[in-house]
Amino acid sequence: MAAIGSIVGSGGLIVMDEDNCMVDIAKFFLKFTVDESCGKCTPCRIGTKRLLELLEKITDGKGTLEDLDKLEELCYYIKANALCGLGQTAPNPVLSTLRYFRDEYVAHVVEKRCPAGVCKHLLRFVVDKDKCIGCGMCMRNCPASAISKTDYIATGHKLPSVEIDPNKCVKCGVCMDNCRFKAISKQ
């Protein structure tokens, strides 16, 4: 396990699939270590906070390729200089996800896309006009009034349809859950 960058820990095993965002997972574990850090040494007390900020910047869609280098550099610094096991292992989730799922990090910073469809700031809800029948159920349930009917005659579609204003949408997913025709998807 050490060879692949892992430790036994408390003996738990978590199984994940393509619906888990690896950047988000790294953020989850970092939040735990930031909370647990006793604050005695600077690399762990301040370093893990800076790591978390960088991860948040990436999941907010504001990250750059340079941030990935900064992440890695900071991880190795913390591992080498933290006083105890907590700080020395805190960067492991970042390093191992960067090592095995770098393509996901790159999708977040270059394409501004979360391949797993988890990071809210990078999500876009879209209506498939060929599946939509214009029933209006999504529109009635949208808490942000972000959905409106389209002029289907003008757009050349046979059936009425709706469209989502990305500037108003708060990415709650209610519309997708309410569409019985599976006409809304997140990208």
- Residues forming contacts to ligand SF4 in the complex (CB under 6 A) are 37-41, 44-45, 82-84, 86-87, 125, 127, 132-138, 142-144, 146-147, 162, 164, 169-175, 178-179, 181, 183-184
Cα–Cα distance measured from residue 21 to residue 35, given in angstroms and rounded to the nearest whole number = 21
Cβ-based nearer residue to ligand SF4, 45 or 57: 45
Give yes or no for a contact between 78 and 47, defined as CB atoms under 8 angstroms apart.
yes
Q: What residue has token string 């050490």?
A: 2
Q: Closest CB to ligand SF4 belongs to which residue? A: 87
Cβ-based nearer residue to ligand SF4, 106 or 144: 144
Cβ-based nearer residue to ligand SF4, 37 or 68: 37
Nearest approach, Cβ of residue 51 and ligand SF4 (Å): 13
Write the CA distances from 55 to 60, 80, 85, 102, 138, integer angstroms.
9, 20, 22, 13, 33
Nearest approach, Cβ of residue 133 and ligand SF4 (Å): 5
Cα–Cα distance measured from residue 10 to residue 155, given in angstroms and rounded to the nearest whole number = 58
Give yes or no for a contact between 172 and 143, defined as CB atoms under 8 angstroms apart.
yes
Nearest approach, Cβ of residue 66 and ligand SF4 (Å): 26
Please name the amino acid found at residue 45.
R
Nearest approach, Cβ of residue 65 and ligand SF4 (Å): 29
Nearest approach, Cβ of residue 43 and ligand SF4 (Å): 7
**What are 10-15's contacts with CB under 8 Å, separation 24+?**
none
Cβ-based nearer residue to ligand SF4, 15 or 80: 80
